[in-house]
Chains A and B, each alone.
Chain A
Amino acid sequence: MKVPILRTIDLSKTFEVGGHKVKALQRANLEVMPGEFIAITGPSGSGKTTLLSLVGCLDKPTEGKIILDGVDVTNIPEASLYKIRREKIGFIFQSFNLIENLSAIENVELPMEFSIKSGKQRSKKARELLDLVGLQEREKHRPSQLSVGEQQRVAIARALANGPAIILADEPTGNLDSETGLSIVKMLGRLTTDQKCTVMLVTHDPRVASLAARTLSLRDGELLQE
């Protein structure tokens, strides 16, 4: 019997904004199986990014549990969550979030600093990942020297650096044109089949969501089951 790679139990997040409490996420129950390509859709402000942040251990839930790759990460102290992020999660952001003063290959090597001690091995693996995303010729280029699509592909390669349990992509096509965006999403889809990655993608674009194997909707912080 397969164990879910990610499971949330009554996951909730409430923000206090100007004295008011805003329930960004309410009792979200989710299971993601290994190798699954899942899309979370919803309008702006529905809680998609909040869900991703909680699952990605970038924020702490107000209530509920998160079990990631068999580890209950809910009560792990903030100061120790970095290990979970490093070993189990790969992030892809809407605005790519590459380090400007590093080249493409250096950006991909960055997460491997603690997992691979040898610089040569890091470089080798980084090249392989850039090759995977089709950027082997551009490894020395800085982000400002790459197109938006290429930057996002570098971000994908970086997300794969430590062989994460799950890749979390927050609006990965948000800053791309439709064609580039679709190619990125297809690439993410191929990762689930070729690399046996689990990809959880958040988008407001139904066309992007349609490329995923499973789609869930968020409305006003509530996760609607399909």
Chain B
Amino acid sequence: MYVEARAFKSVWRRKLRTLLVSFVLALCVAVLISTIAGVRASEESTKEMVAKAEANTADMVAKVQANAEEMVAGIQASTEEMVAGIEQGAEETIGQTEIMSRMIMVSSGFGPMRGGEGTNLVSEDVVDDIYSIEGVAAVLPSLTERVGASSDDPRDYDYAVNGVLLDSSLVEGYSVLPSNIIAGRQIEEGDGAAVLLSQDLISSGYFQVGVGDTITLEGSEFEVVGIFYSTQFGDEKTIYMSLENAQNLFGEAGEVSSLQVFAETKDVVNDVAEAIENLDSSWFVMTFEDMPMGRFGESIALTQEQQTARIQEQASQQIATIQEQASQQIATMQEQASQQIAALRDDVSNIESLGVQISLVAGIAGVLMIFGIMFYTVRERTREIGILKALGFSNPYVMERFMLEGSYIGFLGGLIGVALGAVTCSQLGPWLLNISETTSVTVEPYYVLIGLGGAVLCGALGSVYPAWRASRVSPMEALRHG
């Protein structure tokens, strides 16, 4: 320990110089520690931000997937409901064919709907006259108006309003109203200004409403209580309401455009039809057999099949669209998250690179400073070196002595620098690395080792050449030195 004690004494003898050099070296150490602390803080901060971005993205992806699954499930449920409704409606309709075979259609013009030449209204009073005919079980008057009709083409109209009696008990097992309600409920007696709307009018975009909404027809407002899926030819653009509401809407109180007369049995249908014709020869009277609907039952199954296929295809397309949109959305979110994370990682990489450069500069500055001061010290103490050699101290001893002195200065600078760095790193680190001041920069215990070790290393490295020079000094020349 003799040489170490001697070296320390030599350093301490020149207090002012030693402290000045140590302080400057301390600044380098403070910069080093602040840089390391700043880089580590940035890395931690970035890690947190990356984790947060990944978690957020995963959350959002999960939400999008959940939403899509919910929508798909909704569509599938709705489709099943519609298909079931169609099946039920078709069954009911088929069931109704039996009843329909007892029906006689009466109107004053061509076809049951108003519009076109030769279509007139019939007074509602005739209902009583028809009821008086033997064999008549029920009479169901209705008023049908086509709105927006531009020509005599029965297919060229916007929609049709069908006002009917809402009492479903008149003909057992039969209702003039559509049975396949897909939303809301059936229209009933006492509903007031209410309508049953065809799904086709909504899907075509003519009406953009749902159950509970209000539509305006001919200036009057009606509540949509239900939406039905049309399974009957000519029913696709129909709006059902009470007969009275239809009569008031079109200003045709007490008048109807057609009547459905039901005979008590199928056997008396022709007799009843003849009796009705005898009431007014201008009326169109058609039995069920005369109507195209005579083949109704055969066409129902086909229609049901087609409609089911159509609904299922629409549902499949909707589901595919939803899944496609969800996939695109997820891909976009993941891409954005990747870009964000890559940018964050780029930033921290740049900060690390800058940190390395700053640390290198600080280290080199420290080494150069020690080199300078030790070079000067060796020159200043050339005579002392000569004396030591004359007294029998070896070259390695001389080199060790001066390297120790440089290392002691380094150690002292390191101690001061570590303390300085600990105090200033929260400001110095962000300033050096150009990072946000809100980044929490703190000094970890192992930075102390790095700072001290780095400073001692600077001292030793900076002393190597001067110490080597000192060891090579000729004792003879050294003793002659000033």
Contact = CB atoms under 8 A, between A and B. Distances in A.
Interface of A: 53, 56, 58-59, 79, 82-83, 85-87, 89, 91, 93, 97-99, 101, 110-111, 113-114, 158, 162
A56 B390 contact: yes
B363 interface: no
B52 interface: no
B394 interface: yes
A101 B392 contact: no
B387 A99 contact: yes
B394 A79 contact: yes
A32 B386 CA distance: 26
B475 A111 contact: no
Interface in B423-482: 474-476, 479
Given A101-B9, A101-B10, A101-B13, A110 B476 contact: no
Interface in B1-21: 2-3, 9-10, 13
Nearest to B478: A58
A195 to B, nearest CB: 19
Contacts of A85: 389-392
14 contacts: A58-B479, A82-B389, A82-B393, A85-B389, A85-B392, A86-B393, A93-B479, A99-B384, A101-B9, A101-B13, A111-B392, A113-B393, A114-B392, A162-B392
Contact of A111 (B13, B391, B476): B391
A83 B3 CA distance: 17
Interface string B363-389: 000000000000000000001101111
Contact of B2 (A53, A59, A113): A113
A82 B479 contact: no
A53 B477 CA distance: 11
Contacts of B389: 58, 82, 85
Given A58-B476, A93-B479, A113-B2, A82 B384 contact: no
B123 interface: no
The 10 closest A-B pairs by CB, nearest first: A86-B392, A85-B392, A82-B394, A101-B13, A111-B391, A58-B476, A97-B387, A59-B476, A58-B475, A91-B390
Question: Could you say which of B13, B390, B391 has the most chain A C-beta atoms within 10 Å of its C-beta?
Answer: B391
A64 B383 CA distance: 28
Given A58-B390, A83-B394, 15 more contacts: A56-B390, A58-B479, A82-B389, A82-B394, A85-B391, A85-B392, A86-B391, A86-B392, A91-B391, A97-B386, A97-B390, A99-B384, A101-B9, A111-B392, A162-B392
Interface of B: 2-3, 9-10, 13, 383-384, 386-395, 474-476, 479
Contacts of B392: 82-83, 85-87, 89, 111, 114, 162
A188 B3 CA distance: 31
Contacts of A110: 388, 391
Contacts of B3: 113
A213 B369 CA distance: 55
Nearest to A86: B392
Nearest to A90: B391
Contact of A97 (B13, B383, B474, B476): B383
Contacts of B395: 79, 82
A156 to B, nearest CB: 14
Question: Could you say which of A82, A85, A87, A101 has the most chain B C-beta atoms within 10 Å of its C-beta?
Answer: A82
B477 to A, nearest CB: 9
B176 to A, nearest CB: 125
B65 to A, nearest CB: 80
Nearest to A93: B479
A108 B2 CA distance: 14
B332 to A, nearest CB: 76
Contacts of B10: 101
A99 B385 CA distance: 10
B482 to A, nearest CB: 11
Contacts of B386: 97
Contacts of B394: 79, 82-83
